[in-house]
Chains A and B, each alone.
Chain A
């Protein structure tokens, strides 16, 4: 369990799903451009946001994640024609179900980012982390919190 103390602010654990063609490359772009953004998101690369089975979202929350980020290509830009629209529809439905289960809709975020939008990706992630920090830990019962990772400073 993550202790929220004045000395050590609550560091949310966020599982982020990115698509191979746009949003993962946006994250990559943020990386190679040496942009700094919140380290709380653990990215998992899928081939497409349409590959995102809602099971992954439930598993992340049940396993101790405080929030989940879904990201993909902009509408109309999907590498697989229209699968990101499926992700969009699932996002809308999952949010409703999560709300009924007592998980605030703000703990699930959908972010469109093209391969060129490293800066947008970085700033949106930082914003999301702050929003989730304000919500506080989810502390799903019976879930073992993922181990805290040390903030890694990459030499410039």
Chain B
């Protein structure tokens, strides 16, 4: 009997998710023993045409990382959805937009200008990529950017979500174990639409720092002061995203002395991640006076960036007004 087929694809992402998959060490041999890898652009040579030739549902497990940034991403999302039995939004980009989704703050023209004109880019002739270009050999094309980056489930139907930037390796290994067990008939797959490889609670729940009643007179950046190694970071006025972020990482950042930045995405039941954090942060401000509240809030230098670092594309508003209208 032939082995079940495995695919992994990257769209608008950094490649960290692929590294996280390889970081499961010898467990990768289980993947190889149980699956036939048919399509994985980072790791092997395969053409889109090969996938197009497959039967619908021929791929058993497809891990998709990255957001939908251009028409190529969207085309492959539809293609892999059709060819895959189980499509997993793998990693923060696919689930909620992540860092590439931060471009949704900015009109697309400005995003392109920044990429092609800022000091870090050598582009003396101020060239811009052209979607269509006539060569002597014929017309060549490159994918067209969309004004807004979308998450995978804003484009196609998704079976499971696996959050994290990147997902923790021990969580990936556990998920692979479950899928293999399910294929062998020894376990059931979780219900469709479930978040897998993560907890159902918040990072605070896994954090070992001491928590008291929070009252904040001042927000401060973590690099600009002394940090108590045992006390809750938010209590110290350091903007820590733990209260709204899904557990599953063992509170890695807070236990290493850094604030949670929210890469595991919204906790169970949270509709809008940023809104939940606004609620959490504002509630603990220790002042009833509008002027003083404003002064304390000045300590949060970039509130939207703080609250939507990983979640802008997946939030209710999905991006700024400027970005929304930049495609018109």
- Knowing A92-B290, A102-B320, A102-B322, the reply to whether A55 touches B275 (Cβ < 8 A) is yes
Selected contact of B282 from candidates A92, A103, A141, CB within 8 Å: A92
Interface string of A89-130 (1 = CB under 8 A from B): 110111011001111000000000000000000000000000
The interface residues of chain B lying within 8 Å CB-to-CB of A140 are 317, 321, 324
A88 touching B293 by the CB < 8 A rule?
Answer: yes
How many residues of chain A get a CB closer than 8 Å to chain B's CBs?
Answer: 28
Interface string of A130-142 (1 = CB under 8 A from B): 0000000010111
B293 touching A54 by the CB < 8 A rule?
Answer: no
Q: Is the interface of B mostly helix, strand, loop or mixed?
A: helix
Q: Which of A53-69 contact B (CB under 8 A)?
A: 53-55, 57-59, 61-62
Query: Bound state CA distance, A61 and B315, in angstroms?
Result: 12
Selected contact of A92 from candidates B297, B304, B305, B315, CB within 8 Å: B297
> What residue in chain A is nearest B319 (Cβ atoms)?
A101
> What residue in chain B is nearest A87 (Cβ atoms)?
B282
A53 touching B279 by the CB < 8 A rule?
Answer: yes
Query: Bound state CA distance, A92 and B318, in angstroms?
Result: 21
A-B contact number at CB 8 A: 94
B276 touching A55 by the CB < 8 A rule?
Answer: yes
A97 touching B303 by the CB < 8 A rule?
Answer: yes
Interface flag for B160 (CB, 8 Å): no
Interface size grouping (class) on chain B: 35 or more
With both chains docked as a complex, state the minimum distance between the C-beta of A31 and any C-beta of chain B, in angstroms. Answer: 30
Interface flag for A10 (CB, 8 Å): no
The interface residues of chain A lying within 8 Å CB-to-CB of B282 are 86, 89-90, 92-94
With both chains docked as a complex, state the minimum distance between the C-beta of A146 and any C-beta of chain B, in angstroms. Answer: 16
A54, A55, A89, A90 — which one has the most chain B CB atoms within 10 A of its CB? A89
- Knowing A92-B293, A93-B303, A140-B324, the reply to whether A101 touches B317 (Cβ < 8 A) is yes
Interface string of B289-328 (1 = CB under 8 A from A): 0100110010010111101000000011111111111000
Selected contact of A97 from candidates B274, B283, B321, B325, CB within 8 Å: B274
Selected contact of A89 from candidates B274, B285, B322, CB within 8 Å: B285
Selected contact of A58 from candidates B294, B297, B315, CB within 8 Å: B315
B288 touching A75 by the CB < 8 A rule?
Answer: yes
The interface residues of chain B lying within 8 Å CB-to-CB of A82 are 288
B279 touching A96 by the CB < 8 A rule?
Answer: no
Selected contact of A86 from candidates B283, B320, B324, CB within 8 Å: B283
Q: Is the interface of A mostly helix, strand, loop or mixed?
A: helix
Interface flag for A37 (CB, 8 Å): no
Query: Bound state CA distance, A93 and B282, in angstroms?
Result: 7
B320 touching A58 by the CB < 8 A rule?
Answer: no
Query: Bound state CA distance, A57 and B272, in angstroms?
Result: 11
B321 touching A103 by the CB < 8 A rule?
Answer: yes
With both chains docked as a complex, state the minimum distance between the C-beta of A30 and any C-beta of chain B, in angstroms. Answer: 26
Interface flag for B10 (CB, 8 Å): no
With both chains docked as a complex, state the minimum distance between the C-beta of A102 and any C-beta of chain B, in angstroms. Answer: 3
The interface residues of chain B lying within 8 Å CB-to-CB of A53 are 275-276, 279
Query: Bound state CA distance, A115 and B316, in angstroms?
Result: 33
With both chains docked as a complex, state the minimum distance between the C-beta of B74 and any C-beta of chain A, in angstroms. Answer: 16
- Knowing A55-B272, A55-B316, the reply to whether A85 touches B288 (Cβ < 8 A) is yes
With both chains docked as a complex, state the minimum distance between the C-beta of A106 and any C-beta of chain B, in angstroms. Answer: 14
The interface residues of chain B lying within 8 Å CB-to-CB of A85 are 288
With both chains docked as a complex, state the minimum distance between the C-beta of B283 and any C-beta of chain A, in angstroms. Answer: 5
Q: Which of B258-287 contact A (CB under 8 A)?
A: 271-272, 274-276, 278-279, 281-283, 285, 287
The interface residues of chain B lying within 8 Å CB-to-CB of A57 are 275
- Knowing A54-B275, A89-B285, A141-B325, the reply to whether A97 touches B316 (Cβ < 8 A) is no
> What residue in chain B is nearest A85 (Cβ atoms)?
B288
Interface flag for B39 (CB, 8 Å): no
Top 9 A-B pairs, shortest CB-CB distance: A102-B321, A100-B304, A141-B324, A54-B275, A55-B275, A89-B282, A58-B316, A90-B282, A102-B320
Given contacts A59-B271, A82-B288, 19 further A-B contacts (CB under 8 A): A54-B275, A54-B276, A62-B316, A75-B288, A85-B288, A89-B293, A90-B278, A92-B293, A93-B278, A94-B282, A97-B274, A100-B105, A100-B304, A101-B304, A101-B321, A102-B320, A102-B321, A102-B324, A142-B324
Q: Which residues of A contact B (CB under 8 A)?
A: 53-55, 57-59, 61-62, 75, 82, 85-86, 88-90, 92-94, 96-97, 100-103, 138, 140-142
